[in-house]
Amino acid sequence: MADNILEVKNLKKYFKTSRGMLHAVDDINFTIERGKTLGLVGESGCGKSTTGRVILRLIEPTSGEVLFEGKDVTKLSKREMRHMRKDMQIIFQDPFSSLDPKKTVSQIIAEPIRENRILTGKENIERRVLELMETVGLAERYINTYPHELDGGRRQRIGIARALAMEPKLIICDEPVSALDVSIQAQILNLLKELQEKLGLTYIFITHDLSVVNHFSDDIAVMYLGQIVEKAPAEELFEHPVHPYTQALLSAIPIPELGHRRERVKLKGEITSPVEPPAECRFAKRCLECNEKICKASVPKLIEISPNHFIACPLKQQEMGFKI
């Protein structure tokens, strides 16, 4: 039996807008095994960040279940949730706006420790702060500096130290390296990987960068307009992408090598609006393979086409002989 730390069932988050309901996250399901990384990829507006926030209940879900170690997070009271958040932390994308500019590095890292009474006593807390700084590779001399004095890489290390302060089991990394230069990006990715091995952490890695997600994840779920369209182990997904959107996405990555100028899977048209979307495949309008009769008949279901490889494309499912 796989030890699933997190199970997300039929999760939905709709936002009310003047033009109707915006389906930001629309009925998504996935599980993550303890100690593994799930990559959540997609383009801007696909609902990947909202999914991360809904799991932590930073935004309340519209419906669905989020089972963390078997307990439904969505049904917890505020107080229970506060306790639960120690186990589930988040690292934000922008290290420039997610840190309080008026606090020093040590105050920022100490805050969650003090607030949640993980440790008491000034000395204990200070010792823990130094320990955390060492863990994330921040030199002791930065302890009394302010975020604006540091570069993006170091600021992101503070964000990681603050998340680790709670000794979490699961960390949601929301585009943790997108704002950083490549050489710094690699430093942070290596740090996150080391921490995972050392502390047995489970990650949900949210990103739009496919080469990063491939490097970092065990499983990858590709999102499009609030839904998961394909999910598979990283290697399988990169080698045998089946959903036309995944294929287009993968072929769009520019590869930094000679002789790689290649044919792209082309996309057409404009993106379907996530406000009151019709009951059909949301990718249909941009898909060159779209078959009006099959693709616009109903909302596609995520079906397992080979072990652990799921797709939500009625056309491909039918080609492969699955009943839809």
Partner 1 sequence: MVKEDKEILNIEDLHVRFETEDGIVYAVNGINLKLGYKRTLGLVGETGAGKTTTALAMLRLVPDPPGVVECRKLEINGRDVRDISADELEQVRGKEISMIFQDPMTALNPVFTVGEQIAESIEIHEKCSKEDAMKKAGDMLELVGIPRQRANEYPHQFSGGMKQRVVIAIALACNPKLLIADEPTTALDVTIQAQVLELMTELKEKYDTSMIMITHDLGIVAEVCDDVAVMYSGRIVEQGSLEEVFGKTMHPYTEGLFNSLPNIKNRQAKLKPIHGLMPDPTEIPVGCPFAPRCNYATEACKKAIPELKCAGGTHLVACSAYERDPEFRIDRSKKNG
Binding residues for partner 1, rule: CB under 8 A, are 43-44, 151, 153, 181-187, 189-190, 208, 210-212, 214-216, 234-235, 238, 248-249, 251-258, 260-261, 264, 267, 270-271
Tell me the closest approach of the beta carbon of residue 13 to partner 1, in angstroms: 21
Nearer to partner 1, 100 or 181 (CB): 181
Tell me the closest approach of the beta carbon of residue 258 to partner 1, in angstroms: 5
Separation of alpha carbons 70 and 7, rounded Å: 8
Q: Tell me the two tokens of residue 311.
A: 């797709």
Nearer to partner 1, 252 or 320 (CB): 252
Nearer to partner 1, 56 or 212 (CB): 212
Please list, in sequence order, all residues whose beta carbon lies within 8 angstroms of the beta carbon of residue 272, skipping any fewer than 6 positions away: 225, 278, 282, 283, 284, 285, 286
Separation of alpha carbons 68 and 193, rounded Å: 22
Q: Quick one: 28 exposed, middle or buried, by C-beta within 10 A (0-12, 13-18, 19+)?
A: buried
Tell me the closest approach of the beta carbon of residue 273 to partner 1, in angstroms: 11
Largest CA distance in the chain: 69
Please list, in sequence order, all residues whose beta carbon lies within 8 angstroms of the beta carbon of residue 95, skipping any fewer than 6 positions away: 147, 152, 155, 156, 158, 159, 179
Tell me the closest approach of the beta carbon of residue 196 to partner 1, in angstroms: 14
Tell me the closest approach of the beta carbon of residue 262 to partner 1, in angstroms: 9
Nearer to partner 1, 64 or 226 (CB): 226
Tell me the closest approach of the beta carbon of residue 72 to partner 1, in angstroms: 34
Tell me the closest approach of the beta carbon of residue 65 to partner 1, in angstroms: 30
Task: Give the count of beta carbons closer than 10 Å to the beta carbon of residue 262.
Answer: 7
Nearer to partner 1, 25 or 249 (CB): 249
* Cα atoms in the Cβ-side hemisphere of radius 13 Å centred on 132: 27
DSSP string, 244-262: HHHHHHHHTSPPSSTT---
Nearer to partner 1, 117 or 148 (CB): 148
Nearer to partner 1, 105 or 234 (CB): 234
Beta carbons of 204 and 55 less than 8 angstroms apart? yes
